[in-house]
Amino acid sequence: MRAKAIAFFALLLAALLGLLWLHFRYLNLPVEFSVGGAGDLREVSTNLGVIVLVAILGSVVLLVAWKLFYLLAFLPLHLKQWNVRRKERRRMQNVSDGLQALVLGDGDAQRKNFSAAGAAGVAPAVSYYLAALAAPDSSKRQGLLKKAAGADGDPMIQAMATAQMRINASMPGEAAEVLRMAGAATSKANRPLSLLLEACEKSGDIRGALDVAQTLLERSPSPLLRQRIGHLAGELLKNEGSPDAIRGLVGSVRKSHPSSPTSIAIAAAKRLAAVKDEAGASNILGQAWSQSQDAEILAAIAKHGSAELVQKILGQSDELLRRQPDDLELMCALADLAMREKILGQARKLLADALRLKESRPVYLRLARLAELEGKATEESGRLYRLAAQAGD
| pLDDT tens string 169-191 | 899 999 999 999 999 888 888 89
Instruction: Give ∠ CA 198-266-184 in degrees, rounded to 5.
Output: 25
- pLDDT tens track for 245-263: 777 777 766 655 555 667 7
Q: Are 176 and 212 in contact (CB under 8 A)?
A: no
Confidence label for 302 from pLDDT (cuts 50, 70 and 90): confident
Q: Which of 378, 292, 375, 364 is nearest to 335 (CA)?
A: 364
Classify residue 29: in a domain, yes or no: no
> What per-residue confidence (pLDDT) applies to 199?
92
- pLDDT tens track for 182-222: 998 888 888 999 999 999 989 988 888 888 888 888 888 78
Q: Which of 224, 296, 308 is nearest to 267 (CA)?
A: 296
> What per-residue confidence (pLDDT) applies to 185?
84
Q: Identify whether residues 358 and 326 lie together within a single domain.
A: yes
DSSP letters for 81-114: HHHHHHHHHHHHHHHHHHHHHHHHT-HHHHHHHH
> What per-residue confidence (pLDDT) applies to 174?
92
131: left (phi over 0), alpha (psi -120 to 50) or beta: alpha
357's CB contacts (< 8 A; 6+ apart) are: 326, 328, 331
Let me know if 260 is exposed, middle or buried by CB neighbors in 10 A (0-12, 13-18, 19+).
buried
Domain range for 65: 60-147
For residue 31, give the 3-state DSSP assignment: strand
At position 164, the amino acid (one-letter code) is Q
Q: Are 366 and 387 in contact (CB under 8 A)?
A: no
Give the mean model confidence (pLDDT) for residues 48-70. Answer: 75
Query: Is residue 46 predicted with pLDDT exceeding 70?
Result: no
Please state, in angstroms and rounded to a whole number, the distance separating the CA atoms of residues 319 and 326. 13
- To the nearest 10°, the Cα dihedral for 19, 24, 27, 30? 170
Domain tally for the chain?
4
> What per-residue confidence (pLDDT) applies to 349?
92
DSSP letters for 203-217: HT-HHHHHHHHHHHH
The two most distant CA atoms of the chain are separated, in Å, by: 143
Give the mean model confidence (pLDDT) for residues 148-169. Answer: 90
Confidence label for 27 from pLDDT (cuts 50, 70 and 90): low
Classify residue 32: in a domain, yes or no: no
Using the 3D structure, point to which of 272, 293, 314 is the last residue of a domain: 293
Classify residue 177: in a domain, yes or no: yes
> What per-residue confidence (pLDDT) applies to 385?
85
Give the mean model confidence (pLDDT) for residues 64-73. Answer: 80
Q: Identify whether residues 262 and 336 lie together within a single domain.
A: no
Residues shown for the chain: 393
Classify residue 26: in a domain, yes or no: no
**Beta-strand (E) ranges in the chain?**
30-35, 42-47
Q: Identify whether residues 287 and 313 lie together within a single domain.
A: no
Classify residue 301: in a domain, yes or no: no
DSSP state of 123: S
Q: Are 105 and 121 in contact (CB under 8 A)?
A: no
Confidence label for 53 from pLDDT (cuts 50, 70 and 90): low
366's CB contacts (< 8 A; 6+ apart) are: 332, 335, 336, 339, 347, 351
Cα Rg of the chain, angstroms: 41
Using the 3D structure, point to which of 131, 166, 201 is the last residue of a domain: 201
Please state, in angstroms and rounded to a whole number, the distance separating the CA atoms of residues 125 and 218. 29
Using the 3D structure, point to which of 201, 224, 239 is the last residue of a domain: 201
Q: Give the predicted TM-score (pTM) of the model.
A: 0.57
32 φ, ψ (degrees, to nearest 5)? -120, 135
Please state, in angstroms and rounded to a whole number, the distance separating the CA atoms of residues 346 and 344. 5
Please state, in angstroms and rounded to a whole number, the distance separating the CA atoms of residues 80 and 164. 40
Classify residue 349: in a domain, yes or no: yes
> What per-residue confidence (pLDDT) applies to 196?
92
> What per-residue confidence (pLDDT) applies to 106?
84
CATH code for position 380:
1.25.40.10
Q: List residues bridging with 33 in a β-sheet.
A: 44
